[in-house]
Copies of this chain bind each other. A is one copy, B any other.
């Protein structure tokens, strides 16, 4: 995790920050390297965004929340971008209609890259004199964390787009392969009061605070993630056709969308193929199941005689020794916890206060991180969240009892 306030000896704060900034910013562009100009411009569904838009919006974030406020003699790169690349900040003004982001053929990818270079240069110049400006550093840090979140979305959105093309093109960029799952065990945890949430002095999102107490009844957690082979057994047992495993709303979702398998699975003869970042290939039975919705995770758990863990159970388990396998870096793990404010939660001040709090309804928390999560962008207390039907993220599951 980026830590800006405590640089190593012998380095000035400014130069270290500059290096961090450049390193993280360059990762966004690197993730678009396998994509064509056309891939970068298309939007596959309202929930997803074009890669070009991600590149521009993350730049807009620095221009709007840092440069506009702290750069002497600030002038916008292009005033129209203020509206075009605002995502959802009502406090900042108008925003372009989300489902139409794929129609923004102008500015071109090259112009967006020029926009990035311009803002990057201005940011680096500003950072040379940033020492002691704690408010600016806090916004910079938020901007970089925000950028990393969009780096994951660049991958998931591109994967979804390519999956709709009958040519099934590969994204191809090598991301760390998901660990092969080994033998499972039920790990037992006692009842008691635990502390949940972030209480340190480094960066975290506002939704991870405040640190607070929760009482957890005794529970068990699977040592490993649910695998493709296990999920295939659920399907083979008519899992998608038996209403008794499904939440009522999930059952409606299955029926009206005619859903019969995870989004990237394809029937192939008697077995299954899967569309991955490397194109279509045979389903890997020992890898964690991925790209499932909360509804699917919940139905599988009921079929398996278990349930999903709460986010508190998940977080508390991290403090055990040894901690359960595969908590990070493979797939995000659905919890049964609705995304809600912690007791005493106060959103950040200003427009960045719209970052998290206003989404705390009808979404469910995922914990951990995925193979597409940038290095350093994971945390024991990190709360990812998506609606119950979403499945284009690298979302899997771990059982609890």
Contacts and interface: CB of A to CB of B under 8 A. Distances in A.
- Specify how many copies of this chain sit in the oligomer: 4
Contact of A36 (B91, B108, B161, B336): B108
Q: Chain A contact residues: over half helix, strand or loop, or mixed?
A: mixed
B358 A166 contact: no
B338 A39 contact: no
Contacts of A106: 36, 38-39, 162, 165, 167, 169
Interface string A21-45: 0000000000000001111011010
A172 to B, nearest CB: 12
A108 B169 CA distance: 12
A5 interface: no
A213 B190 CA distance: 13
A383 to B, nearest CB: 14
Contact of A358 (B215, B248, B362, B388): B248
Contacts of A104: 165
A385 to B, nearest CB: 12
A361 B193 CA distance: 26
Contacts of A114: none
A164 B43 CA distance: 15
A213 B215 contact: yes
The size class of the interface chain A forms with chain B is 35 or more
Contacts of A216: 343
A401 B213 CA distance: 17
Name, among A44, A106, A243, the residue most crowded by chain B CB atoms within 10 Å (CB to CB): A106
Nearest to A103: B164
Contacts of A337: 340
A143 interface: no
A169 to B, nearest CB: 5
Contacts of A37: 37-38, 108
Contact of A249 (B251, B361, B388): B361
A247 B42 contact: no
Interface string A173-207: 00000000000000000010100000000000000
Contact of A164 (B39, B100, B338, B360): B100
A133 interface: no
Given A38-B41, A41-B41, A294 B215 contact: no
A247 B212 CA distance: 23
A149 B88 CA distance: 40
Contacts of A213: 191, 215, 217
Interface string A246-273: 1111110000000000000000000000
